[in-house]
Amino acid sequence: MDIIYEKNYNEKALYINMAGTYLTKNNISEMINQMESVENDKNINHIIFSSTSKDFCLGHDIKSLLGYDETEAKIYSSLGQELIKKIREIRKIIISALTGKTLGPGFEIAIASDLVFATDDTTFGFPETDYGIIPAFGGTVLASRKIHENFVKYLTITGVQIGVDELFCRGIISKIFKSKDEMFDHIAEVVKNLNKKSMFALGLAKETINNGIELDIDRALLLEQNAFSVAFSSYDKREGMLAFIEKREPKFKNRWEDYEDMF
């Protein structure tokens, strides 16, 4: 099945319906293009990776990879890593709504996302060593930093699939649901609440956290201090604080899309 893209302007979200597919160079390129197309769209605040099929993502298209040489493999890996970096760097909130098999690059997309929700039948794994290769889209790097080196070695070396509870207790999964309907009802509420917040502050928080984990403690603290100070230059800082004091709903207006014109 092809990946399906849908803009929901009521939720201010771009839905990327993975449809339980295998990933290829073509659909990875299309995902990157779709994300870039909404990067400066003020009507889109969030990007939601989801699936209407029983599975989220079945991994790599092994039949395609079989014919790759070293050069083609490097291009493919670079493209996949570009997708993961885009998920982490774009100043919109990335939500993964997972169900069923979430394997290989699908697992990597989930790890890179900002908020991760899953049904209780979701399973995760890096099956690449079963095919004589290894994870290629940053899974060995990002997962080691977010989970633990030894646990990632266990997943990668054995190729074993694990249940959602194992990732929930390690902080990767935000919340577990008994059904898709329950999960998407919750996501609709989350998105509704996020849309009331300062998009500038949300993007600033995401950027600070993502960049901070790459630094030593002193530089990470300085990064946070500088980001905190930048927030005080915004209209949204004053509006949010006044609304709190005056006991009313804030009306935020600052956005990263207007960053150059903001100050």
What pLDDT, on the 0 to 100 scale, is given for residue 1?
65
Separation of alpha carbons 87 and 84, rounded Å: 5
Residue 139: is its pLDDT beyond 90?
Answer: no
What pLDDT, on the 0 to 100 scale, is given for residue 263?
40
List, for residues 145-161, the tens digit of each pLDDT value: 888 889 999 999 999 99
Q: Token pair of 80, please?
A: 């996949």
Q: Which amino acid is at 14?
A: L
Q: Which amino acid is at 55?
A: D
| Phi, psi angles (nearest 5°) of residue 186 | -65, -45
Domain boundaries, the chain: 4-194, 199-262
Q: Mean pLDDT throughout 206-220?
A: 93
What pLDDT, on the 0 to 100 scale, is given for residue 20?
87
pLDDT above 70: percentage of residues in the chain: 98
Residue 223: is its pLDDT beyond 50?
Answer: yes
**Which CATH number fits the domain 199-262, given the four candidates 1.10.12.10, 1.10.472.10, 1.10.600.10, 3.40.50.300?**
1.10.12.10
Say if residue 16 is exposed, middle or buried (CB neighbours under 10 Å; 0-12, 13-18, 19+): buried
What pLDDT, on the 0 to 100 scale, is given for residue 8?
95
**Which CATH number fits the domain 4-194, given the four candidates 3.50.50.60, 3.30.70.100, 3.40.190.10, 3.90.226.10?**
3.90.226.10
List, for residues 33-47, the tens digit of each pLDDT value: 999 999 999 999 999
Pair type for strands 93-98 and 46-50:
parallel
Residue 262: is its pLDDT beyond 50?
Answer: no
Average pLDDT of the chain to the nearest whole number: 93
Give 59's strand partners. Answer: 22
pTM value is 0.93
